[in-house]
Amino acid sequence: MGRALGNIVLHLLKSRITSCLVILLMTPSSMAFGQDPTPGKYSCSIANIVGLQTDSQTGSRNAGSIAERQQTFFVTIEDNKQQPEDWCFGAEALDNLKKLRRGEKPDAKSKTFLEPWMFFTACQARFRLSTNGGPVDGLYHSDNLAIFRDEFSQFWLRNGLNYIWQFVDLKANAYLAEGRCQKVK
């Protein structure tokens, strides 16, 4: 139980720290105006990255700026294939969404939503963004072309193709990176 409580506290701390860092990084003086994001492929570079990491040898937790060479990765934005409206808003789908909202589990044999995130990715999100070749490979969804997210992370493309990327790796390390993207096709 102590470890579970520790994980909950760590998640809350990460959420608060991330929110504060995003607010600090997004002040009007740091905004650049230019090209808006559109579907396509982008090459992105990391200018700054901060994080919370656990040292694999000592187990100690470290926080701060990460001294990492200029890293380039790729982002692809494309239309998200949504499920038909009858599937998203049919009787079974709505019943399962109501159960999820009340904290109940839908029938395991259900052909619609087994967890809340499925509605957003299958029915609401109009676009998806995938990252590869960077610190982590991820798939994020959005109903606009600015803020893409999954259950734990967020990729925010701002005006001028500057980005802020908050993500967690498989070792429960949390990061916040910023940089710039250029459209390649």
Tell me: the pLDDT tens digits for 62-118?
Answer: 898 887 656 899 999 999 998 888 888 888 888 888 888 898 888 778 777 777 788
pLDDT band at 142 (very low <50, low <70, confident <90, very high): very high
Average pLDDT value for residue range 44-67: 89
Strand partners, 127: 79, 142
pLDDT given for residue 177 in this prediction: 93
Average pLDDT over residues 121-131: 92
In 3D, which of 17, 13, 73, 78 has the Cα closest to residue 50? Answer: 17
In this prediction, residue 69 carries a pLDDT of 58
CA distance readout (Å), 174 to 66, 100, 165? 12, 28, 11
Write down the residue that tokens 């916040």 correspond to.
176
State residue 147's pLDDT score. 92
Give the C-alpha distances (Å, rounded to integers) separating 149 from 92, 177, 185: 26, 15, 23
pTM as predicted:
0.71
Angle at 87 between CA 83 and CA 92, to 5 degrees: 145
Q: Confidence class of residue 44 from pLDDT cuts 50, 70 and 90? A: very high
**How would you classify residue 108: left for phi > 0, otherwise alpha for psi between -120 and 50, otherwise beta?**
alpha
Contact present, 30 and 159 (Cβ < 8 Å): no
pLDDT, tens digit, for every residue of 4-43?
A: 545 554 554 455 544 443 433 443 334 444 567 899 999 9
Classify residue 46 as exposed, middle or buried by CB count within 10 Å of its CB (0-12, 13-18, 19+). buried
